[in-house]
Amino acid sequence: MLIYPLYYIYSKLLNWVGHNETSFNQPEWPVPKTEPYLIYNAKLINVIHGGFYPENAILIKGARIIKRLPNDHIQSIKTNWKFDAKKKYIIPGLINAHCHITGPGVFSFHYSMLKEFDHQIDKNCMDCITHGVTTIRDMLGFQPAIIKRQNQIDKGQLIGPRILRAIAIQLPNSYYSLLSGGYLGHFMLTAKNTNEMEDAVSKAVDLGADCIKLFYQSKSLFQSEKKYPVISENMIAVAVDKAMNLNKKTSIHIVCVDGFRKALSAGVPLIEHMPIDRMLSDDDIRRFNDNGHFITPTGSVPYALAYPLKDDSNCDHPNLKKIYEDRIERLPEIIKEFANPQIAEKATHVFHMYSQPGYFEKKHLMLTPSARFFNAGGSVGSDNTKKMYGANSKMGCGNDGGIPFVWPAALPLEMRLLQEHAFKPSDILKSATYHNAIIIGMENALGSLDSGKLADMVLLNKNPLEDISNIQEIAGVFKNGQLLFDKRVEMSTS
């Protein structure tokens, strides 16, 4: 974790001496922001109900959708700006409900990579747009760097998604306690009793939190036998009530059934990750469904960090066998696509090191993930995901981007993994748009192509309802009604 205080000092120096921002060539969009425009001859996808709207055109003014209308009504619309979509598919902007925009995507660092680290954050922002992700919920990050990007994006100095920030609260000396002191207090707050929890929630909201994040985890994610204290159900309930009084939602990081149950009893509306210690019971899922909770599975995590172990029976699970095989060729390409060159070089080296037979049978001095922990995520966690989907549980879509070998813009991989878990493409789209809009508290502004909502739209060359991998066939991306990414959209004006 040394990289973060070093980066803090480095970022202060950058602000003092000045530096060159990462460049992005924004396409020329001829429509003045005050003028309405029409996109017609499109296939508008209804993500809420799965399928297509009967209308084929959409009218935009400023940042918002005015209305949808049939092609044969477009002559009645008075505007100088009409664009033929040439039968492209249009979906709402994707939302990554769980990621870390300041995460570099690799554990190991050297001081010479500080500049690359700063540029990687910018790249994470820009890559979100080019991959159709117009909104993210950052679930744990270096707050000064996030706020800086929020301001740059709002001012048009950086192309990037709409960023909502969670501020985390946990017990002292617990899971990720390294991130709660000194310079690293910019990551999370601590509370050791209910009174301090109330104060911490208030402070988080004062600091601009869009969401309050709690932790319930006793086991280390790394090669360590250390056990951590876990938050009490009473403290969780106090956080939920206080956040609700301040019009904020609470989410909780859990990886075990006990944490899942305590979260339900305490009324936490949003659950992050899946239990991996054992299977959820039918009653667990019934309680979850009956009380309107949402869960975000983050299947990209075991895809990146699960590795074979000789004495781990989970390794025989079909999902893990598929991961081990699929990742050999796919992950180096993902690293190359989403990481800056120096970080990509380091990440590729670490991945090849992790992939060596027997690597995780040994203890290492460097920070090393627990393959056993993440294998459980790819087996038991995978089975719980399938079970909850089969029970029609409400799920969000997030990839935990920012952890090793996963980046915030790589949401299409998470969506493909859900499809491989037998999720229907229409349900995956609903999770990544409408459900995620509810999770982040913006269902009245985002998540569907309905009147009055913000005009975040992704134009696709292929139908994502047939195969969710078609989500990568992007022609153009709009955010707040403005074209931010144009991959030869080839729309003609009339």
Is pLDDT of 109 > 70? no
**Residue 102: CB partners within 8 Å, gap ≥ 6?**
121, 124, 138, 141, 142, 145, 146, 402
Percent of the chain with pLDDT over 70: 90
**Cβ neighbours of residue 254 closer than 8 Å, sequence gap 6 or more:** 216, 217, 260, 263, 271, 272, 273, 275
pLDDT digits (tens, 9 = 90+) for 396-455: 999 999 999 999 999 999 999 999 999 999 999 999 999 999 999 999 999 999 999 999
* Phi-psi map region of 42: left, alpha, beta (phi>0 left; psi -120 to 50 alpha): beta
Quick check: do 36-93+447-493 and 95-439 share a fold? no
Q: Are 197 and 235 spatial neighbours (Cβ–Cβ below 8 Å)? A: yes
- Selected residue with higher pLDDT from 112 and 384: 384
Beta-sheet strands, E only, within 156-278: 162-170, 188-190, 211-216, 249-254, 270-272
Confidence tier at 334 by pLDDT (50, 70, 90): very high
The 10 Å Cβ neighbour count of residue 100 is 23
| CATH T-level topology, domain 95-439 | TIM Barrel (3.20.20)
pLDDT at 21: 56
Q: Which residue has the higher pLDDT, 10 or 365?
A: 365
Please tell me the predicted confidence (pLDDT) of residue 116. Answer: 86
What DSSP assignment string belongs to 372-423?
HHHHHHHHHHHHHHHHHHHTT--B-----BTBTT--TT-HHHHHHHHHHTT-
pLDDT of 138 over the 50 cut: yes
5 pLDDT exceeds 90?
A: no
| Kind and range of the H or E run holding 320 | helix 318-338
* pLDDT for position 183: 47
Task: Kindly state the percentage of the chain with pLDDT values over 90.
Answer: 82
Quick: pLDDT tens for 347-400. 999 999 999 999 999 999 888 999 999 999 999 999 999 999 999 999 999 999
Sign of CA dihedral 337, 340, 345, 350: negative
Q: Residue ranges of the domains in the chain? A: 36-93+447-493, 95-439
| Per-residue model confidence (pLDDT) at position 86 | 95
Report pLDDT digits (tens) over 450-485. Answer: 999 999 999 999 999 999 999 999 999 999 999 999
Give per-residue pLDDT as tens, 58-88: 999 999 999 999 988 999 999 999 999 999 9
The answer to whether 361 and 311 are in contact (CB under 8 A) is no
Are the beta carbons of 428 and 468 closer than 8 angstroms? yes
Q: What is the rounded average pLDDT of the residues 151-169?
A: 96
The pLDDT tens digits of the residues spanning 169-188 come to 999 988 776 555 544 556 78
Instruction: Please give the structure tokens belonging to residue 92.
Output: 């709402």
What's the CATH fold of domain 36-93+447-493?
Answer: Urease, subunit C; domain 1 (2.30.40)
Query: Model confidence over 247-305: pLDDT tens digits?
Result: 999 999 999 999 999 999 999 999 999 999 999 999 999 999 999 999 999 999 999 99
- b/e per residue 204-234 (b: at least 16 CB within 10 A): bbeeebbbbbbbbbebbbebeeeebebbbee
Question: Using one digit for the tens of pLDDT, what is the confidence trace for 189-242?
Answer: 999 999 999 999 999 999 999 999 999 999 888 888 788 999 999 999 999 999
From residue 287, alpha-carbon distances to 262, 265, 376 in Å are 11, 9, 24
Beta bridge partners of 133: 94
Res 18 pLDDT > 50: no
Structure confidence at residue 176 (pLDDT): 73
- Rounded to a whole number of angstroms, the CA Rg of the chain reads 22
Return mean pLDDT, the chain. Answer: 92
User: What is the bridge-based pairing of β-strands 43-44 and 89-92?
Assistant: parallel
Phi-psi group of 20: left, alpha or beta (phi > 0 → left; psi -120 to 50 → alpha; rest → beta):
beta
Q: At residue 108, does pLDDT exceed 80?
A: no
Q: What does the alpha-carbon distance between residue 369 and residue 132 come to, in Å, rounded to a whole number?
A: 30
Torsional class of 44: left (φ above 0), alpha (ψ -120 to 50), beta (otherwise): beta
pLDDT at residue 1 tops 60: no
Q: Which two tokens stand for residue 367?
A: 């920070």
